[in-house]
């Protein structure tokens, strides 16, 4: 496994060996890894070398390290393709996962300046503000804050957003025709809310997504700020030349 005569760094050899064990299903999702001491002794290498290999795999989302519990193989990441506009519910179902949602709050409020700009409305006009934790197979995947223009769905209720996909409601119930969305994704660090809602460690990497959805009339109907677990979620796009 480890060739100390090779010009390839030892930590990198160990890292690739661990990835091979996972890819060939020798190590399954959720399996605990041997301790750093055991791996170091078995391969006659330093624990610091083992720690470097493991840390890189944790940063890549291949492994998960939890204080007091050890290190184990992460579940395969949920992959969202960015070629078309889909709802969270549609994404989960397409990947064979059971979508879920925990409603944290639902209220009607006056749009502040930033929300008014994003939704092309006057400051102070009414919007629905929805906060939810989104889950896949009952595991928390994302925390999101959504603002929806009240003028397009004045009859939207808490029950609607608790039990239905918002896009399904807009298209099937409100009879609105969605045209497209503008989306921006960036990397950031978990805040106190993310740590609490998504079960993350302080300072864990997280993916922040900003999306504004438009109707065929050109009017923006909703703006969502989502925070996805970087160890569970990845985005994929095909770039034609």
DSSP labels, 190-232:
--HHHHHHH-PPTT-EEEEEEEEEEETTS-EEEEEEEEEETTT
The CATH 3.40.1410.10 domain(s) of the chain lie at 78-236
Confidence of residue 215 (pLDDT cuts 50, 70, 90): very high
Neighbour-count burial for 76-100, b at 16+ CB within 10 Å, e otherwise: ebbebeeeeebbbbebbeeeebebb
Question: Was domain 10-73 assigned CATH 1.10.10.10?
Answer: yes
User: Which of 45-59, 94-108, 191-205, 226-240 has the least mean pLDDT?
Assistant: 226-240
pLDDT given at position 94: 67
Confidence of residue 126 (pLDDT cuts 50, 70, 90): very high
Which is more confidently placed, 55 or 107?
107
The answer on pLDDT for 78 being more than 60 is no
pLDDT given at position 203: 77
CATH topology of domain 78-236: Chorismate lyase (3.40.1410)
The answer on pLDDT for 17 being more than 60 is yes
The CATH 1.10.10.10 domain(s) of the chain lie at 10-73
pLDDT given at position 82: 57
């Amino acid at each position: 496994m480890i060739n100390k005569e090779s010009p390839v760094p030892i930590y990198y050899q160990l890292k690739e060996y661990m990835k091979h064990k996972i890819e060939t299903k020798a190590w399954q999702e959720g399996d605990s890894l041997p301790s750093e001491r055991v791996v170091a002794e078995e391969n006659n290498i330093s624990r610091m070398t083992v720690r470097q290999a493991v840390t890189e795999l944790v940063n890549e989302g291949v492994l998960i390290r939890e204080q007091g519990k050890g290190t184990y193989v992460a579940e395969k990441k949920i992959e969202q393709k960015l070629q078309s506009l889909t709802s969270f519910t549609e994404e989960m179902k397409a990947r064979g996962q059971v979508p879920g949602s925990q409603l944290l709050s639902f209220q009607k409020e006056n749009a502040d300046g930033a929300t008014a700009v994003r939704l092309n409305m006057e400051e102070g006009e009414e919007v629905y503000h929805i906060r939810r934790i989104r889950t896949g197979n009952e595991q928390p995947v994302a925390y999101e804050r959504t603002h929806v223009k009240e003028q397009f769905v004045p009859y939207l209720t808490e029950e609607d957003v608790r039990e239905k996909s918002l896009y399904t409601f807009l298209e099937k119930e409100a009879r609105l025709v969605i045209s497209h969305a503008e989306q921006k994704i960036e990397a950031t660090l978990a805040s106190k809310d993310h740590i609490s809602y998504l079960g993350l460690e302080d300072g864990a990497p997280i993916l922040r997504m900003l999306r504004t959805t438009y109707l065929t009339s050109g009017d923006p109907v909703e703006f969502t700020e989502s925070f996805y677990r970087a160890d569970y979620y990845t985005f994929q796009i095909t770039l034609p030349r």
